[in-house]
Amino acid sequence: MIRFLTAGESHGKELTVIIEGFPSNVPLVKSEIDPELERRQSGYGRGLRMKIEKDNVELTAGVRYGKTLGSPVAMRIINKDFENWTEVMSAAPLKSKSQKVTIPRPGHADLTGTQKYNYDDIRNSIERSSARETAARVAAGAAAKSLLRQFGISVGSFVESIGGIYPGESALKNLLNLYDPEIMGIDQLSRIADNSEVRVLDEKQEQKIIRKIKAAKKNGDTLGGTVIIAANGVPPGLGSFAQYDRRIDAALSAAMMSVHAIKGVEIGAGFDAADKFGSEVHDEIIFEKNNFSRKTNRAGGIEGGITNGLPVIIRAAMKPIATLMQPIESVDLKTMSTVDARRERSDFTAVPACAVICEAMTAWVMADFMIQKFGGDSLEEMKDNYDTYLKKLVPRVKKNFR
């Protein structure tokens, strides 16, 4: 129903985002997008690029007086660093020969991209496969969040671990078991995380992580970690079991795996559920206050590919960044000889940023499935459809089984 396309290279002139399929009259303003871009740039362990760029968005089409028009929305994010790369990233042919990159980094798209697209310069692969592209995704995610807010849906995130350092008390366990859900919901947890240099919830854990990042930096190494993303206020009924590509958990998993360096995704209890009895995993159904709920949320808010009305909970694992200042072995494609992998300006860890990016992608999938189920040409029509559905949901179930 909706989609976004991004264009632009890491050191090119700008990143461009085009959003298609949004209804009209959805509030969308620069002042709500720029803070999301800033969150993506934060976090201890980021590289020099973050000191150069100060990301902000320009809305160039599809919005008038702070609301969407129903036509494609276009946004651009200028790359300030482009002024240092005007010749290297020139769109026009160069009269002189440029210096080619010939040594790929293990774990990056350097070699695979060069093989696939028949490049004679790894720079062509580096630029588009760079995580710089995720700034455009966060802008698209901010638009999705604006739509979701109109229905009381919020998406947040926090970092669970970096470099194998976990908190003393698991906030994920709290989310899965519904301990004090109103006190420790994802909105509050996300705000707490935003006040941490590495977006964790535990101050002691934060200091341990910072020390490990410093050690990694000293050794020319990098660190990965795990992040938690959750969506509150999600209504039951998004997604379907009818076809594999209509399952919302499948769409969320694909969205997470599309983020650079993500290597694993779990919904709810995830892999931990594989080690337990069914009685320890499945969420008992209750009916109270004229609504269906569950005693726990180990399913992560999704059963049979369909949301059940509880918070949607996702856990994702990010591998360490591929660029190492103390590089490992590679091959020079020019000579086919064994050499050390090349260095490219990079972060020592980007797990805090990764959480924000995964948050944006989660918001996008949620917005997509909301529009699939309740969509109309305008926000007002969509709200009418949504209100009617919720009003009739429980009475319809009661009627069907009498």
Say how far apart CA 171 and CA 157 lie, in whole Å: 11
**What is the helix (H) or strand (E) element at residue 391, kind and residue range?**
helix 379-400
The predicted structure's pLDDT at residue 346: 73
Say how far apart CA 239 and CA 256 lie, in whole Å: 17
Tell me which residue has tokens 């588009």: 128
The predicted structure's pLDDT at residue 299: 97
Q: SS3 of 331, please? A: strand
Secondary structure of 80-140 in the HEC alphabet?
HHHHHCCCCCCCCCCCCCCCCCCCCCCCCCHHHHHHHHCCCCCHHHHHHHCHHHHHHHHHH
CA angle 261, 361, 358 (to 5 degrees): 45
Say how far apart CA 168 and CA 164 lie, in whole Å: 13
The predicted structure's pLDDT at residue 89: 92
The predicted structure's pLDDT at residue 180: 61
The predicted structure's pLDDT at residue 139: 98
**Among candidate residues 178, 182, 200, the one with its CA nearest the CA of residue 313:** 178
Please state, in angstroms and as integers, the Cα–Cα distance from residue 342 to each residue in 4, 5, 9, 300, 375, following that order: 33, 30, 19, 41, 49
**Among candidate residues 25, 24, 27, the one with its CA nearest the CA of residue 70:** 24
**Among candidate residues 355, 103, 131, 325, the one with its CA nearest the CA of residue 222:** 325
Give the chain's domains with CATH numbers.
Answer: 3-92+100-390 (3.60.150.10)
Rounded to 10 degrees, the C-alpha dihedral 378/140/307/301 comes to -140
Q: Which amino acid is at 143?
A: A
The predicted structure's pLDDT at residue 347: 86
The predicted structure's pLDDT at residue 400: 85
Partnered with residue 75 across adjacent β-strands are 17, 59
The predicted structure's pLDDT at residue 253: 98
The predicted structure's pLDDT at residue 179: 61
CA angle 29, 30, 33 (to 5 degrees): 100
pTM: 0.95
The predicted structure's pLDDT at residue 289: 86
Tell me which residue has tokens 């709290």: 174
The predicted structure's pLDDT at residue 383: 97
Provide the 10 A C-beta neighbour count for residue 162.
Answer: 32
Say how far apart CA 373 and CA 55 lie, in whole Å: 34
The predicted structure's pLDDT at residue 47: 66
Running along the chain, 402 residues long, what does each successive block of 10 average in pLDDT?
Answer: 94 96 98 96 75 86 98 96 91 87 94 96 94 96 98 97 94 82 78 95 96 94 96 97 97 98 97 96 93 94 97 97 90 95 84 97 98 96 97 86 80
